[in-house]
A and B are shown apart, each in its own frame.
Chain A
Amino acid sequence: MTRDPVLTFTQQGIYCPAGDFHIDPWRPVDRALITHGHADHARPGHGRYLATDLAAPVIRHRLGEITLDTVPYGEARRIGGASVSFHPAGHVPGSAQIRVEVAGEVWVASGDYKLADDGLSDPFEPLRCHAFITESTFGLPVFRWQPQASIADELNDWWRACQQDGLTPLLGAYALGKAQRLLHMLDPEIGPILTHGAVEATTKILRTQGLRLPATVPVTPDTKAADHPGALVLAPPSALGSRWARRFAPVSTGFASGWMALRGIRRRRAGDRGFVVSDHADWTGLNRAIKETGAEKIFVTHGYTDVFTRWLNEQGIQAQVVPTAFGADEDSE
């Protein structure tokens, strides 16, 4: 007897027929389960939303007035014929893998994830399942991340060197997740940390829900570099070359992303420094996560899908590409 799949892939997104809901849909649907607050996963226009209690405040901040129900990590919910639970994905604070069980068959949609413990997000939880839906943003063997502590040393050394050279370090990072992770890595003993409005907004939300982060000074139109000697400025990448950044001149610009592992991209960004910090799993992480699920079927949604799928199949793991609308621009990785 062949059973209906627990999850299917439709024009709207990942769909569960037994529970009549979608996961991270990219077109408006009635009921959406959201893995995390990044723009390619949490979109406006759905009838009802369900997310973790930790992801909810950011999702509300981004999407405004929505009907949003929340659930803690690990708590099972019954939706129609499906049992649903959210488990830590380690990607950004509040991010989840969504486990869906129908008649004893378990599928997991992992959204975006990483295995390394960043010290802020609940660490990735390996889940046994029959089918696993994975990203592959960095699904090539050239991507292998260094331990967070050694990157933190690089960041802090750069900050100190800038102080010596009379430059303001201007660090570009995605406002949700990456920016807070960098705050956690920076040593506040070195000097004050100034934040761009977009970074400050998400940081404030995450602070109120209990995340311990160093003190920050929001940049206002009146902020002058001279009033904050030795400061480091944290801003979204788009702000780096903007008018907004001019007041801090002379600056040394840094950019934190997994793409910085490649010299060519590092040079294209034309910043002074590239720091390899990613909230996505590296090659080793993707392979380990997949192995630990014990899944007999893997669906690869975004990233180096063709290459990664072929690799998995050659390893004896049945895998296929599923075209989706996930995957944002390089600034958010």
Chain B
Amino acid sequence: MKDFAALFRAIDQSTRTTSKVAALADYFRTAPEEDRVWTIALFSGRRPKRAVTTTRLREWAAERANLPLWLFEDSYSVVGDLAETIALVLPPPESESDLGLSYWISYLQDIANADEDTRKARVLAAWDQLDTTERLLFNKLMTGGFRIGVSQKLMTRALAQATGKPEPELAHRLMGDWTPASTDWHTLIEAADSAADASRPYPFYLAHALDDPETLGTPGDWLAEWKWDGIRAQLIHREGAHFIWSRGEELMTDRFPELAMLRDVLPDGTVIDGELVAWDADTGAPQPFAALQKRIGRKSVPKALLRDAPVLLLAYDLLEHGGQDIRDLPFAERHAQLDATLAALPDDAPLRPSPLIAFDTWTDLAAIRAEARANRAEGLMLKRADGPYLSGRKRGGWWKWKLEPLTVDGVMIYAQAGHGRRANLFTDFTFAVWDGPDLVPFTKAYSGLSDSEFARITAWVNRNTMQRFGPVRQVTPHHVFEIAFEGIQQSPRHKSGVALRFPRMARWREDKSATQANTLDDLLELLRLYG
């Protein structure tokens, strides 16, 4: 674990991308091959089978550290990371170990099926021979989620440096359904890439945000379509099977059983990039995101939900046609082939083209964009007609031109400390609007301010706490914040009667006094217009 811990420290201690990549590339040249494959797996979100539940880990750590469980939990909520909390509270180790990453992973796999006493003894024994950083990593192997500031992009770049292979090829090789058990370094990275597995998706092309379309030049070079408010997904139909991947490279095939019929109507060797939405057959438009939300995270779908929130894929792009990777073709051409492919489908197929929007001038398009909310879209997408389908977030060919968010000015009434990187700052606030002389809470928000603003508001909260409810501070109603959000809907569970989508603090309105904040009537008017 020492090599891997050294790599982790090198990455963690640096803010410079070049030195992170250099440290990773060096590791990919020198570490044992098995450790390299596991490292790629961990940094791309694949983790070993869970050997121990987090509940047990917390109990064992608290017991080993001689702490009551509540104190462990309170510490965890400050630190914000279970693996780190455990690493920090445990007493110093009794010995050291020179064993590598793969050893500890198989150590965990071996105990996965053991009885609980054995598992506990083995975990405690491991803790007792690892230093704080090694423990943190060992714990992460059990808790999952290796987010340590290494993006897929960065890892691919390091692999390219270490192996001399082009980045896009490596990015594609790393996609899909492999595990360290099903492959090895040679197959994954070095071998001729022919026996690719049928489920393997292409890396998603991600758009940059656009402020002003005038910067894009001639409107005729661009194609526009709605930016739908759903889940970005890739539909694969190969070798008689179909697969649905999320942008986060999660296989979601079983969650959307209504798409299975596409196997019978879509030609084999087809890959489509699109947006999953809950469809409203009556209006012929997507339902609000809230309807789709009910489907997310559900592995099995009850009949009633299938009926109320049927899912459909709005197709943006065609990536593979007749088994050929066509990502290098111009978008206009890919789109024409997409239209032709979809035209052959029956009318009730849960797959439709996301229509292109005709426009002549940017001014025309701005007027169309203003209608996005009524069309259940978040804004517009602009794509270069002659551009290829790239991988990752690349500047130039794809732009998202989102609607301005809705905003309301709210008064801060409660504050709670953050965790993790903001453990010692107040970051989670509750905001209220006026209902006559009373303040009615309508939303919480915890993002949107800069660190120095959070530091300033923290100092203020400390001086202006009226009452404490456990970790929550009730503060003097004084500060006004502009709350931006993407949508609003009715909610009987909330005191205000409304729930906001993606609320965040857009601005600290230090120019406004509490009495100048918005009212509940203002909020209900937004609900009437946009709910």
Assuming A142-B75, A261-B88, A263-B81, is B68 touching A314 (CB within 8 A)? yes
The answer to whether B78 and A268 have CB atoms under 8 Å apart is no
The answer to whether B423 and A307 have CB atoms under 8 Å apart is no
Taken together as a complex, chains A and B put the C-alpha atoms of A314 and B70 apart, in Å, by 11
The answer to whether A141 and B451 have CB atoms under 8 Å apart is no
Among A125-133, A174-182, A293-301, A323-331, the one that faces the other chain is: A323-331
Residues of B close to A262: CB separation below 8 A? 78-79, 84, 420, 423
- Does A66 lie at the interface of the complex (its beta carbon under 8 Å from any beta carbon of B)? no
- Does B463 lie at the interface of the complex (its beta carbon under 8 Å from any beta carbon of A)? yes
Among B12-20, B267-275, B394-402, B476-484, the one that faces the other chain is: B12-20
62-119 of chain B: CB within 8 A of chain A: 65, 67-68, 70-72, 74-75, 78-81, 84-85, 88-89
The answer to whether A330 and B455 have CB atoms under 8 Å apart is yes
Taken together as a complex, chains A and B put the C-alpha atoms of A307 and B471 apart, in Å, by 10
- Does A271 lie at the interface of the complex (its beta carbon under 8 Å from any beta carbon of B)? yes
Contact with B15, one of A270, A307, A323, A327 (Cβ below 8 angstroms): A270
Assuming A272-B14, A327-B462, is B424 touching A259 (CB within 8 A)? yes
- Does A264 lie at the interface of the complex (its beta carbon under 8 Å from any beta carbon of B)? yes
Smallest CB gap from A315: residue in B: B68
Smallest CB gap from A263: residue in B: B84
Residues of A close to B88: CB separation below 8 A? 141-144, 261
19-71 of chain B: CB within 8 A of chain A: 65, 67-68, 70-71
Assuming A261-B88, A264-B419, A330-B424, is B79 touching A142 (CB within 8 A)? yes
Taken together as a complex, chains A and B put the C-alpha atoms of A273 and B15 apart, in Å, by 9
Assuming A264-B422, A265-B421, A270-B15, is B75 touching A141 (CB within 8 A)? yes
Residues of B close to A264: CB separation below 8 A? 79-81, 419-423
- Does B468 lie at the interface of the complex (its beta carbon under 8 Å from any beta carbon of A)? yes
131-155 of chain B: CB within 8 A of chain A: 136, 149
Chain A positions 195 through 208: 1 when the CB is less than 8 Å from some CB of chain B, otherwise 0: 00000000000000
Residues of A close to B420: CB separation below 8 A? 262, 264
Chain A positions 296 through 333: 1 when the CB is less than 8 Å from some CB of chain B, otherwise 0: 00000000101100110010000000010101011000
The answer to whether A329 and B13 have CB atoms under 8 Å apart is no
- Does B470 lie at the interface of the complex (its beta carbon under 8 Å from any beta carbon of A)? yes
- Does B209 lie at the interface of the complex (its beta carbon under 8 Å from any beta carbon of A)? no
Chain A positions 136 through 153: 1 when the CB is less than 8 Å from some CB of chain B, otherwise 0: 000011111000000000
- Does A267 lie at the interface of the complex (its beta carbon under 8 Å from any beta carbon of B)? yes
Taken together as a complex, chains A and B put the C-alpha atoms of A261 and B75 apart, in Å, by 13
CB distance from B85 to the nearest CB of A (A): 6
Smallest CB gap from B455: residue in A: A329
The answer to whether B68 and A140 have CB atoms under 8 Å apart is no
Assuming A263-B12, A263-B84, A272-B14, is B67 touching A141 (CB within 8 A)? yes
The answer to whether A267 and B421 have CB atoms under 8 Å apart is yes
The answer to whether A140 and B75 have CB atoms under 8 Å apart is yes
Taken together as a complex, chains A and B put the C-alpha atoms of A142 and B71 apart, in Å, by 10
Contact with A273, one of B13, B451, B455, B471 (Cβ below 8 angstroms): B13
Contact with B65, one of A141, A267, A327 (Cβ below 8 angstroms): A141
Taken together as a complex, chains A and B put the C-alpha atoms of A311 and B425 apart, in Å, by 22
The answer to whether B74 and A140 have CB atoms under 8 Å apart is yes
218-241 of chain A: CB within 8 A of chain B: none
Assuming A262-B423, A306-B468, A307-B71, is B13 touching A140 (CB within 8 A)? no
- Does B6 lie at the interface of the complex (its beta carbon under 8 Å from any beta carbon of A)? no
Contact with B89, one of A141, A265, A272 (Cβ below 8 angstroms): A141
For the complex of A and B, the 6 pairs showing the least CB-CB separation, nearest first, are A264-B421, A264-B420, A268-B421, A142-B88, A141-B89, A140-B75
Show the binding face of A for B, using Cβ within 8 Å: 140-144, 259, 261-265, 267-268, 270-273, 304, 306-307, 310-311, 314, 323, 325, 327, 329-330
Show the binding face of B for A, using Cβ within 8 Å: 12-16, 65, 67-68, 70-72, 74-75, 78-81, 84-85, 88-89, 136, 149, 419-425, 451, 455, 458-459, 462-463, 465, 468, 470-471
- 21 example contacts (A-B, Cβ-Cβ < 8 A) are as follows A141-B67, A262-B78, A263-B84, A264-B419, A264-B421, A265-B422, A265-B423, A265-B424, A267-B12, A267-B149, A267-B421, A268-B451, A272-B13, A272-B15, A272-B16, A307-B71, A310-B70, A329-B455, A329-B458, A329-B459, A330-B455
